[in-house]
Amino acid sequence: MGAPERRQAILTVITLAVMAVFGGRLVYVQAIKGPAIAQVALDDRLTTTTLPADRGEITDANGVALAVSVERYTITADQTLIASWDPTSATTPDQRGPAGAAAALAPLLELDPAELGAKLVGDRRYVILKKDVLPEVRNAVMELAIPGINAERTTERVYPAGAVGGNVIGFVGADGKGQAGIEYSLNSELSGTAGSETYERGMGYVKIPGGYDKTTPAKPGASVQLTILRDLQYKAQTAVDAMVAKTQADGAAAVVYDVTNGDILALVDSGSVNPNDPGATPAALRGSRAVSNAFEPGSTAKVITMSAALEEGIGTPTSQYEIPGQLDLGAAGTVHDAEVHGLERLTMTGILAKSSNIGAVMIGRQLPKQVRYDYLKKFGFGTATGVGLPGETAGILHPADQWDGRTEYNVLFGQGVAVNAVQDTGVFATIGNGGVHVAPHLVKGVTDADGTYHPVVPTETRVISQKTAHEVLTMLESVVDAGTGTAAQISGYLVAGKTGTSQGADKSGGLTNMTASFIGIVPADKPRLAVSVVVFHPRTSEYGGTVAAPVFSEIASYALQELGIAPSGATATPYASEW
């Protein structure tokens, strides 16, 4: 064996070599790789959660809340951590772990203890126990300090007015995104931008006090101010629903249109959806049929025929016509009026007041076909209004060169074309505004999260001259004074308006489904509102003067009072209807 000194020297060298290796490794780990390793460890402890953005409010024109987002919480559980819960107050096994947690949580969450206990047992890291929990309930849950029980902040969309304006406001889905109405069409503006929080967590995914914590705040959505008035919307909805029940109609719509600025003060569909519970309404009825349903306007479109005739100089309000009991159009067939009559001597005003199809054709056939089309187009037929709701129809207006022999005459009394209720009302709004069409809109303005308000500025287009508009308006007074629309009269106010009745195809293709309507302008001496009532397939009567005109009177009367519009300061001075 070698000398002890030699063995000691070898062992010393080996020891020093090992120490050098470990020392070098330690320097490498701590000095060179240390920051990177520490970052990996930190990253492993970091968790990021989404901070939902508060959805913007929707209000009526006066700032009354119609849709708001309220603070709510989702209570979740990490099953792997709950088994360790052992409160100091526990004296028996069933007061610890999942059983004890369920017993403590169930009364607060209003859940069955046995069912809740089953959700707390297992190895799942994320289980939803209850959604839409109130803040005070969340606070009580978190005070229990049960490992693995967490609360995530969310929001719940609430509609304080219920079904009032539901067809306009719309609603959101489970994902918080708009599904109908303004909630859908302005979803990006209302949604805002979600934020995030990244923090350092310890055991039980609990945030480490003083640890890494970086928050990017959520940006709230913009608030939307509508043009509708909640109380007027409620009154109109109530009146329309009552009329539908009384007439056994398939449905109805009503529009209150401020002729001076295009504001839609009420937009009503019968059986409006309640956004708080949209599932209670059939899917097909959750939107606004006032913009999605196209129907033949019938005699309300005679206003366009009269406007075109006056504007083109082929007659005056007192031009005289002999109206036969029927009008033979050769290959195009025969035109009849709603009531059988002998020869009548009517002025242009009388033709409108008595709603004569024969008279409308006698006047309108003096206009070239393209001119007839041009005036329908200028008054908004065939073009969506852009009122602001999804699913709006543009209606039907075929080019003049595609009209068959009958259609070229039918369009003169509102058949062979189709419109939605807002388009139809817009014709009368144009007459009431001196021949200038102001685009209808439901949004008055949008306020950004920073408080900047962006008002909506509608477009304006002159359609006919002020002189023609005034003459037609005066002619329409005769309809209400002594024509087919006497049921639309309002005490103390001059009313100008027109009845409408048309047929629509039923499911078998037959022309049996009637549409009855009345559209009026009030006060006629100083126009402010155009109000329409459209009734789809009423069973008790098919005439607009019978089923729609009384509802017009009810809605318009309330609107005049709501807006503080003074009674008419003049008496009617109608043109002569007969000669």
Q: 3-class secondary structure for 160-178?
A: CCCCCCHHHHCCECCCCCE
In degrees, to the nearest 5, what angle opens at C-alpha 188 toward C-alphas 187 and 190? 65
Position 175: which residue type?
D
What average pLDDT does range 408-429 have in this prediction? 97
> What DSSP assignment string belongs to 361-375?
HHHHTTS-HHHHHHH
Q: Is the pLDDT of residue 336 over 50?
A: yes
What is the number of other CB atoms lying within 10 angstroms of the CB of residue 536? Answer: 20
What average pLDDT does range 418-423 have in this prediction? 97
What average pLDDT does range 276-289 have in this prediction? 93
- pLDDT at position 238 is 98
Q: Is the pLDDT of residue 505 over 50?
A: no
Q: What is the mean pLDDT of the chain?
A: 91
**How far apart (Å, rounded) are the C-alpha atoms in residues 151 and 541?**
59
**Nearby residues of 491 by Cβ (< 8 Å), 6 or more positions away:** none
Among this protein's residues, is 299 annotated catalytic? yes
> 27-65 pLDDT, tens per residue?
666 666 656 665 665 566 777 877 778 899 999 999 999
- pLDDT at position 508 is 39
Query: Which is catalytic among the residues 69, 223, 270, 299?
Result: 299
- pLDDT at position 507 is 41
- pLDDT at position 207 is 65
Q: Which residues pair with 514 in a beta bridge?
A: 503
Confirm if 66 and 50 have CB atoms less than 8 A apart.
Answer: no
- pLDDT at position 28 is 63
Q: Which residues pair with 71 in a beta bridge?
A: 155
Instruction: Say whether 70 sits in a helix, a strand or coil.
Output: strand
- pLDDT at position 127 is 92
- pLDDT at position 511 is 40
**Nearby residues of 173 by Cβ (< 8 Å), 6 or more positions away:** 179
In degrees, to the nearest 5, what angle opens at C-alpha 256 toward C-alphas 254 and 258? 160
- pTM of the entire predicted model: 0.85
Between the alpha carbon of residue 221 and those of residues 50, 170, 335, the distances in Å are 16, 17, 57
Between the alpha carbon of residue 455 and those of residues 148, 226, 411, 440, 528, the distances in Å are 48, 11, 38, 14, 21
- pLDDT at position 391 is 94
What average pLDDT does range 523-542 have in this prediction? 96
**How far apart (Å, rounded) are the C-alpha atoms in residues 382 and 301?**
13
**How far apart (Å, rounded) are the C-alpha atoms in residues 437 and 458?**
10
> 230-281 pLDDT, tens per residue?
999 999 999 999 999 999 999 999 999 999 999 999 999 999 999 999 999 9
- How would residue 319 be classed by pLDDT, with cut points 50, 70 and 90? very high
In degrees, to the nearest 5, what angle opens at C-alpha 76 toward C-alphas 72 and 81? 150
Long-range contacts of 235-240 (CB under 8 A, 24+ apart): 235/266, 235/555, 235/558, 235/562, 236/266, 236/268, 236/555, 236/558, 237/163, 237/164, 237/268, 237/270, 237/272, 239/551, 239/554, 239/555, 240/268, 240/269, 240/270, 240/533, 240/551
What pairing do the DSSP bridges indicate for beta strands 326-328 and 334-336?
antiparallel
**How far apart (Å, rounded) are the C-alpha atoms in residues 226 and 24?**
72
Please provide residue 311's backbone torsions phi and psi, each rounded to the nearest 5 degrees. Answer: -65, -35
**Residue 286 tokens, joined:** 């959750």
Helix (H) or strand (E) holding 417: none
Instruction: Say whether 135 sits in a helix, a strand or coil.
Output: helix
- How would residue 218 be classed by pLDDT, with cut points 50, 70 and 90? confident
